[in-house]
Structures are given as structure tokens and as C-alpha cells.
Structure 1
Amino acid sequence: MPVRDRDDRRERRRFGPLAISQEEFERRRREWLERRRAALPRLTRAYFSIAVGCLVMAAGFSFFMIPQRIAPGGVFGIATVLHYASRSLLGIDLPTGAIGLVLNIPLFVWGLRSLGGRFVSRTVFGMVAASLFMDLLSYWIVRSGWEAAVAEADPMLAAVFGGLAIGVGLGITFRHMGSTGGTDVVGQILGRKSNISVGVWMMIVDAAIVVAASSYFRDLNLSLYAVITIFVTGKVIDQVLAGRSYSRSVTIITEKGEAIREAIVFGIDRTGTILEGRGLYRGRRKDVVICVVNRKNLVHLERLVAAADPEAFLIVSEAYEVLGEGFKPLEDRLAGQAPAV
């Protein structure tokens, strides 16, 4: 028996049936290194995208929120209040971004201990980048003389466009598995330790910050503007994460499934799935055809179905997102979401 085979058998007896040979170990190691090398460009794009997202979010705060004294919840909402408090009480302007970074550190440590260390590097990167960009932009606004002009702008416009910028920035950051820290960590921890959902806890925390800011500035209007900003931010984040779908999901209930299939395949050059069903009232066999089409093909499909089976029952709904052949590739949707290192 060759020496190498005897060594392999000895190793298997030593480590059990899960032990592998040296050749198998080297093969798996090479595959792992190849996967890491292939993931590096995507990981680089992810960090670049997180940086862009943090820059856009910081612009929303620096150009709209901070000059208008609007505190739309979160760590940087608290930092905005402390920025003005330091000006009135201490006579100095503590940088909002630096305050936010200091506040984020204990929250990050608390979240790391309670939630685990997944995507730690991206969270640290996002925290530092957002704070740095915020202070750089704020410094530029002051040095360029724009501070007074920005402060005198319409606060309603500031609330809307500030929420738009913050939502776009956070959406880009979240889409690439990044984070800027903040009170969402508090919401996740409290959600795990109670029967209240994470979303409700985040609303409670943000509402408390908004009320505290309004009380400090003694201006109820600021709390209303903050609510508008929070609403706009949430809507924009959803749009950035999911994208705007122009596709429609069509469910066709018919007794002429073959005719409908031919209409879809040959009439609009699409495909779908046919399921077998049964009517509740008479118990008759039905074909349930499910397909996804874009808006321009929807009217054509409806006409084809009406011609093939005038008694067909159609259900048309907006598809939240469509991934796969013929639509957005799944790889494009997951671009930038390589495992964090």
C-alpha cells in the first residue's frame, strides 16, 4: 500500500469519517481563494457605494436639517440638538458629525454584544464616513457664506428635500449591506427583549428625540417638520431598496388553459405557470395561469385573453419586484452584497 494512502487512512481513523485528504484540502482551499478574489471587485464597489450613500445622507443633514434646526430622530438628530446646545451654553460649535460619532460608539458596542458581529466592518466604515462627510460639508457651508442663506430657506422645503437626500443616501447604504449605526440598533435590541416589534421601537425612539428637540428649541413647528422628514425618508428608502416596478402580475382563472397558454407564448412572447384549481361554487376544474408582463404588454394580453376565453377571470396587481430571466437579473439585484470582511 502506498505511504500516502496509509497516511490518509491513519488521519481518517484519528479525526473520524469527516476527515479529508491533503489533496481535497488543497482543492477546497484553492476554490475558497478564487471565490475571495472574485468577490474583491464587488466588495470594492460595495464600499464605494456606501461612501456615496453616506455623502448624500450627510448633504441632507448639512444643507437642510442642521441649518433649520430640524432633528428627524436618530443619532444625528440628537447631535443636531447638542450642536446648538453647545453653541448657546458653552459658546462653541461642537461639530455635529463628531457628536454623532461619539454617540454611535456606545450604541455600536452594545449592538455588537447583543446582536453579533455581522457586517461590523461596513457599519464602522459607514459611521465614520457619515460623520466625516457631515462635518466637512458643514465646514464648507460656513466658510463659503452659505450658512445664513440656507438657514433662511423655507423650512417646509428643507424638510422635504432633506428627507429626500437622507432617504436616497440611507437607501444606497442599506442596499449594499452598510449602516450608519444609530438608534436602529436600539430598536433591534429592544425588539428582541420584548414583544414589541423593531419598527415600533424605532418609531418610539425617534418620536422621543423629535419631542425632546421641539421642547429644547421651544418650537412646535420643528417637530412637525421633523415628522415630514421622517415620512419622506422612509418612503424614499423603500423606493431605493426595492426600485420602482413597472411590471404587472397577472393571474388568469380559466377553463381554456391551453388557449390562454398559446395566447401568452405566441401573442406577446412571454411565459408563465399553469396551476390546476377547482371552482368553489360548482367544483369544476379550472386552470390558474400566472404570468408577469410589463405595462405596455398588459393591454395586449387582456385583449388576447378576452378573445381566447371571454369568461376568463383576471386579477392584475403591481409586482413589487421581479427578478429572473426576462427581467432584472438576480445577480444585478445582489450586486455589492458580498460577504463583509
Structure 2
Amino acid sequence: MAGKAALAGLVNSSSDRHSLFDDAQGLVAGSMLAVLGVSLLSSAGLLAGGTAGMAFLMHYATGWSFGLCFFAVNLPFYYLAFRRLGPAFTVKTFVAIALTSVLSEIAPRFIGLSHVDPVAGALFGGLVIGAGMLALFRHRASLGGIGILALYIQDRFGWRAGFVQLGFDGLVLALSFFVASPFIIASSVLGAVVLNLTLAINHRKDRYIAM
């Protein structure tokens, strides 16, 4: 009986709480969508905002793999996540970042994109990454860095996480002038706008309450 009760706790969710299975599915799905979106941006030669943008800049400047750069730039933000958003959020975010980093290394072996127009890459890539981050946010996780800070600011001050992240994304993309052409930067800004509008419109605490 105890075993059945424990199993029920793993798979049974309620209207206001996710089960462990729900969270696992959300983390995997969100990470996979993020990797697909990053693949679209990368194949179009675009950049991104937030820590993904910082990882892209490091990747283009050093030649290191995106997955390694993405994992590394997120390390300083775990302290903020633990102190401000709790251990459960921190653990789930660490898992999501690790999954995204690993999958971004594996995905090119199975998904080859020979040509992606920069504007199309911005539109589709921004939307897909936004959907992935939305899935993670709804399971109380993020892709780290600016996402952690944006969620904290939303919880603390009520500012929309999407708009907060858009401001930080603009700063990161401004630094892209050192490594990309104006057209690529303009297309990257378009992708950031699509991504963050997806979050701002769809992620509201008063519309989605499950934890």
C-alpha cells in the first residue's frame, strides 16, 4: 500500500500543484524546444538575448561549444536562484540548463539545417524558444541567468517577466555590434522581441497558478 501511495504521489497532480511526473515532462519538453529554437538561430547566424546571448557571444568569440558556454555563464546566477526563489526552483533550473547544454551538443548529430533565412530564423526561433521557456516557467524553472532575475522581479515587484527580460536582451544585443553585421543584429532583435512578447503575453501568475 505504501508503494502505491508513493507512486500515486509521483504521477497524480491537482488543479494547483504539478506532480513529479508533470515537472519532469515540463523540464524535458521545455529544454527540447529551447534547443530547437537555438538551432534555428544558430543556423541563421543570429544571436539571442539573456544568458543564451552571452553564450552565443562567447561561442562566436572563442570557438568553444555553445553548450559549454551556456552552462558556464549561468553558474553565477544559481546563488540568486537559491536565495530568492528557493531550492526547488534552483534544482529544476539546474536540471533544465544541464539538459539544454547537453542536448545542444547532441542535436546537431541528428538535426541538420542547411539554410535558414535570418528573418525566418528570428521569427520561428524566437517563438520556439519562448514556448520552451514558457513551459519551464510554468513548472517553476527557467533557463537561468536573466530568466531567474526576471522571474524574481516579477514575483517581487509585479513587473512582467517578458518585458524585464526584453530590456536585458536589448543590452546584450547591443554588445553584438562587435561580432555581427547590422542586418544580423536587426534580425536578432526581431527574434528577441518575438521571444519576449511570447512570454509577456502568455506568462501571468493570475492565469496560471499550478506550482
Q: Indicate if the aligned counterparts of 1:52 and 1:169 stay in contact, CA closer than 8 A.
A: yes
Tell me, in whole angstroms, the C-alpha distance in 2 between the residues paired with 1:125 and 1:187.
19
Corresponding residue for residue 228 of structure 1:
190
Aligned residues: 201
1:153-207 CA distances to partner (integer Å, 9 max, x unpaired)? 31111111111211221122222222221212344667899x9957565333211
Q: Indicate if the aligned counterparts of 1:83 and 1:96 stay in contact, CA closer than 8 A.
A: yes
Corresponding residue for residue 95 of structure 1:
65
Query: Does 2:165 correspond to 1:202?
Result: yes
Where do residues 100-179 of structure 1 align in structure 2 (5 Å cutoff)? 100-141=70-111, 146=112, 149-150=114-115, 153-179=116-142
Where do residues 57-96 of structure 1 align in structure 2 (5 Å cutoff)? 57-62=34-39, 64-87=40-63, 94-96=64-66
Tell me, in whole angstroms, the C-alpha distance in 2 between the residues paired with 1:186 and 1:57.
18
Corresponding residue for residue 16 of structure 2:
none
CA positional deviation for 1:240: 5.7
Greater CA radius of gyration, 1 or 2? Answer: 1
Residue segments in structure 2 that go unaligned for 5+ positions in a row:
12-18
TM-score (norm 2): 0.78
Relative distance call for 1:198 and 1:167 in structure 2 (3 A) is closer
Whichever structure has more strand as a proportion of its residues is: 1
Query: Does 2:188 correspond to 1:216?
Result: no
Question: Pairwise CA RMSD of aligned residues?
Answer: 3.3
State the identity %: 21
Tell me, in whole angstroms, the C-alpha distance in 1 between the residues paired with 2:165 and 2:202.
20
* Counterpart amino acid of residue 130 in structure 2: G
* Counterpart amino acid of residue 141 in structure 2: G
Tell me, in whole angstroms, the C-alpha distance in 2 between the residues paired with 1:178 and 1:59.
18
TM-score (norm 1): 0.51
CA positional deviation for 1:115: 4.3
CA positional deviation for 1:69: 2.8
Tell me, in whole angstroms, the C-alpha distance in 1 between the residues paired with 2:97 and 2:105.
13
Residue segments in structure 1 that go unaligned for 5+ positions in a row:
1-32, 88-93, 243-319, 322-329
* Counterpart amino acid of residue 204 in structure 1: G
Which structure exhibits the higher relative contact order, with contacts defined as CA atoms closer than 8 Å and separated by 6 or more residues?
2
Relative distance call for 1:110 and 1:238 in structure 2 (3 A) is closer
